[in-house]
Amino acid sequence: MTDEAAIYTSSLEADKLLFEADIKTNFAHTSMLKHEGIIDEEIADNILCALDSLKEEGYEALVFDPSVEDVHMAIENYVTSKIGPEAGFMHTAKSRNDQVACDVRLVLRQKITELQVGILEFIEGINEMAGEHLEDVFIGFTHLQHAQPITIAHHLMAHVQALKRDYERFEDTYKRVNLNPLGSAAMATTSFPINRQLTTDLLGFDAYLENSMDGVSARDFIAEAVFDMVSLCTTLSKICEELV
């Protein structure tokens, strides 16, 4: 592959978002392999120590060149530079297919939580403001014209109701995001005696995805989260437009 082709097919720029999640995924998977006796304990401990070091050093510690296709390969190269070819054992019973799917779910659930916290803080602020204007009369508009008298609190609390629905949409989506695909491998799981419940618990998932093909191919949860964000932005846009 030419350098130009390698750069074109590389996902490294986007993969920055997956860096910490990829370390967590590798750490949980390697811990499971050790616990189940699938790989040697000493090898597993060496891998885990290298992953800990990378987490402390950060993304800048990774070495990239045109042959490094993505962050997953870069992390494996880092671990290999620390402990040698035994680093490859952390991929036993694992594929980049289920690893990427797992990483994306870890990142997305964190983003959803951050957005939910922001919504709650915004609601709290509007509630406080509404409490200060319970009897202050305000002009209610429809179709850009004066309509009926209302209070400022009445007007503000309409936004709270919309934001509450936005919060609840994220809450519902989170249930479908927080499922563990790890163990699906490339698509048909693995002959190694893995423990999917253990990785589910270590990574804080609610459960694991029961069908391995669905586990690696599902992306509907991303589309659902994007819709939730669009809905939230529409609510915020409405608030801004009314202020204008």
Q: Are strands 207-208 and 179-180 parallel, antiparallel or unpaired?
A: parallel
Do 25 and 78 have their domain in common? yes
Higher pLDDT, 244 or 103: 103
Do 112 and 72 have their domain in common? no
Do 25 and 74 have their domain in common? yes
Do 113 and 190 have their domain in common? yes
Average pLDDT, integer, range 207-230: 98
How many domains does the chain divide into? 2
Distance of alpha carbon 165 from alpha carbon 162, whole angstroms: 5
Q: Confirm if 189 and 180 have CB atoms less than 8 A apart.
A: no
Q: Give me the DSSP letters along 203-243.
A: TT-SEE-S-HHHHHH--HHHHHHHHHHHHHHHHHHHHHHHH
- Given 49, 73, 91, the domain boundary residue is 91
Secondary structure (H, E, C), 28-95: HHHHHHHHCCCCCHHHHHHHHHHHHHHHHHCHHHCCCCCCCCCHHHHHHHHHHHHHCHHHHHHHCCCC
Do 60 and 159 have their domain in common? no
Q: What is the pLDDT of residue 66?
A: 67
Q: In this structure, what token pair is assigned to residue 122?
A: 């915004």
Residue 65 lies in domain: 3-91
Q: In this structure, what token pair is assigned to residue 156?
A: 């503000």
Q: What is the pLDDT of residue 36?
A: 98
Do 81 and 113 have their domain in common? no
Do 64 and 167 have their domain in common? no
Judged against a pLDDT cut of 80, whether residue 150 lies above it is answered with: yes
Q: Which of 41-55, 61-75, 162-176 has the lowest mean pLDDT?
A: 61-75
The CATH number linked to 113 is 1.20.200.10
Which H or E run contains 101? helix 96-131
